[in-house]
Amino acid sequence: MEPFIQMTNVSKIYGVGDAQVGALKRLSLSIHRGEFAAIIGHSGSGKSTLMNLLGCLDFPTQGEYLLDGKPVAGLSDRQLSHIRNEQIGFVFQSFYLIPSLSALENVELPLLYRGIAREERRRMAMDSLCQVGLETRQHHRPAEMSGGQQQRVAIARAIAARPPLLLADEPTGNLDSQSGQDIMRILQQLHTEGHTIILITHDEDIAQSAARIIRVQDGKIAEDISTSRSA
């Protein structure tokens, strides 16, 4: 089966001349549909750069990136925006919720931008809030919710349009341990429902929630192992 994500000899270089810094160095990576992979590394390891490339937020300096069999290089801003809207759901350490909107309205917003009719987007948003256990909080604004609840709203927003790929960048970084565990249980459930999930983290314990751990060091993959959850 063709990989959903295929990176071949990808490098990312910042700066010019003597000031050049290689964030990624001829990195190759394949991820199939339905996988739950954790990319782990310390600050400066290259994991955040890798996340930006995977999410089509940046381009490699060298090498090839195929998403769902299609090359990303050379696409227009409009085409990249379409890919991010249709193919990828993003969850970040900071929740990026709009304070003046309710949970339901925050989840609805990307669907509005996609031109989905009001009744349909309301149904899709409610389905997503139910999926993360927040149907009773639909009318609450972010300030009226805990950090863990806000992150669940952010996950609901990311999955409302049912993108095949979910990129979660340090999703538990701003949460207490119990809320973090709740978020990881939701991600595991989404994985069992068929989502491809890539988790970026520096936390060894959080990484163990994934079925595959990809350790990045000095811009290269230092280790790529399956965990007991892959059984």
Residues 194-214, buried b or exposed e (16+ Cβ, 10 A)?
ebbbbbbbeeeebbebbbbbb
- Could you give the 3-state DSSP secondary structure of residue 191? helix
- CA 167 to chain CA centroid, nearest Å: 1
Q: What is the pLDDT of residues 149-178, one digit of tens each?
A: 999 999 999 999 999 999 999 999 889 999
Strand partners, 216: 221
Q: Is 89 helix (H, G, I), strand (E, B) or coil?
A: strand
3-state secondary structure of 81: helix
Reported as a single tens digit per residue, the pLDDT across 105-158 is 999 998 988 889 999 999 999 999 999 999 999 999 999 999 999 999 999 999
Dist CA 136 CA 100 (whole Å) = 18
Provide the residue type at 208 as one letter.
Q
